Structure 1
Amino acid sequence: MSVSTGARALAIAVLLKGVRVMALDSSPSSTSGSPVTVGCITLDSFDYSGAKQVDISQSPTASACGSTCAEDRYGYSYLYDGGGQATYCFCSNDAPATGSIVEGDATDGSCEPGDFWVYQTSSPYSFDGCYTSLDPRIPLSKTTVSSPDACFTKCGAKQFAAFIPEAEGYSCACSSTKPGTGPAEFCAQHEIYAYRQDSSSSTSTTESGGNGLVLQRDLRPRASTAKRRQIYQENKRKRGAAVAHCPAPLTACAIPGHAEGFECIDTTAELESCGGCTAGVFGDSNTTVAGVDCSTLPGVRLGGTTCTSGLCEVTRCRKGWTLIDGACVRQRWGWKRTGGL
């Protein structure tokens, strides 16, 4: 990776999370075709450690992000849309965890501003929409796969593929006829993500069990689509209220133990909430801890660290620790200390 690319990767990591982005060697994607949407995840659930940032400034779209990552032979692309303020593209070989899938903006697979739009970079299938139920005329049997890519590979001989993000993994369905009925109001966990490929790309062969659908159903009770949409809209309302009280660049951070309370914090400079809210973003039920309390970093001397652009910068270490590559490391025999007393 070039110096300029590395600088961009670090810059976006600082901007979004206060953590470092590592560019890993890519590996070939297992399918061929075009980029296809596979879901939305929140900013806080994205794993930066296995991602590489790429420049799509000339065409800041989800499909361009997917195509660029495909050229670099990555399996998945993650597009962050800051609501018209900033757009960033990351490439990864890791599929989104099913537990991190959140409600999209509509049934066409698009995502809410502020979330990551995830694409599989190359697939023979195209997105057909999200559905609430399966065609009851199609027989069902059980199977679970680890990723959307694995589902598309399994269904290669069928015209239609579908998966449902569930707690145990991706429930995968393969069929020669359209599997979904009842278009969903929006794509989300436990909804059916349906895909189709050109009939000439599939074959007429049948799997064991006949021309049936392969799927694992989750029969546990879950909230109705209307109820989940109500919860989602309420969280969205709270976030909107928080934004109204916290002008940019301040962030509305939740206060532990106070469901309706928040405080406005500059997470680019706040020592105890560096890079994000340590108790989560107000009004976001899916949020995870994103901020870092720089003062609690191992081996750091009191007053020996600051928060700059959302990233902890260590300048001094305690006795018995040495400053190496911006972090305090416990000193061993023969090491020369470069910081601290």
Structure 2
Amino acid sequence: MPSRAAAYVSTVLLLLSLVPHASAACAPGTFTPDGGRDCIPCPPGTYSDATDQATCKQARPGYFAPPGATSETPCAAGSYSAGLAARCTLCYPGSYCPGEANVAPTLCAPGTFSGVAGAEACCSCCAGWYSEEEGAITCTSCPSRGPFKQGYSPVGGSSADDCVAAIGARDSCSQISNTCPNTGGALPSGGVQKRSPPRTQRLRCAPAHSKCPVYGIAYGRGYTRGYECVDTQSDLERCGGCVDGDSWDGARSAGGGRDCSAIPDVDAVRCARGQCIIERCRRGYIIHDGGTACRPLFVASGWR
């Protein structure tokens, strides 16, 4: 006859055998509805970041979550999402998406365009080109003006009214991949610049500013409309001095200034301490001449 102790142990073991074994916790990226034992992967556009979740969280606008995600991820620059997205959508041509977590594309402003999907910024219309409406995918070339088959307009022109009879227009203005075209854009001889209202020659400028002429055109001839104060140490279009109209290719003009934006084949440039600093050349070109010009890669390398 078994002892009482032995009988107790047998009873406990029997009861334990009747208790269901606890199931493993459902991992992040899954959920278990209604407290069931099945762990189900989170559907596309949702995620779970903890164990044993009854539901999955929805990815917010500007974010995405693939199936079984443990977190939401911000959309990269050039893309967007409206929320509950499994993947981000590239911004369509005529728009751009700057930075991360865009919830919708932004239309390109008049005077700019984007001819590719996934743009992080819009390109300015080139000299001699313009776009009048938001969301442009191309720019329109200036119509003929005077003796010129194609008129000239400043970079970023937004109307045919910006086109004048002058040289300096670019032959083309198309976008390749995410690289904007060389816009040109310095004031050609006898051209017109859109500036703040010019003032008389008696204008007094603050320290470190220069008094630069503003040019106009009338009856096919150029003239000086007035003057304005310019910080030639940092002004992109009049870097190092005034531009007197002879710098349409980015060369230093007789007035001592240089239009950095007109340097051929430049993709990114700035003016610092009166010097044009090229930060990046367009594809197929490299920085040359001490950072003051761009040259074709095969020429600068000495290839033939």
Where is the strand percentage greater, Structure 1 or Structure 2?
A: 1
- TM norm. shorter chain > 0.5: no
Q: TM-score range by the shorter chain?
A: under 0.3
TM-score normalised according to structure 1 size = 0.24
Q: Which has the larger radius of gyration?
A: 2
Q: Which has the higher contact order (CA 8 A, sep 6+)?
A: 1
TM-score normalised according to structure 2 size = 0.26
Where is the helix percentage greater, Structure 1 or Structure 2?
A: 1
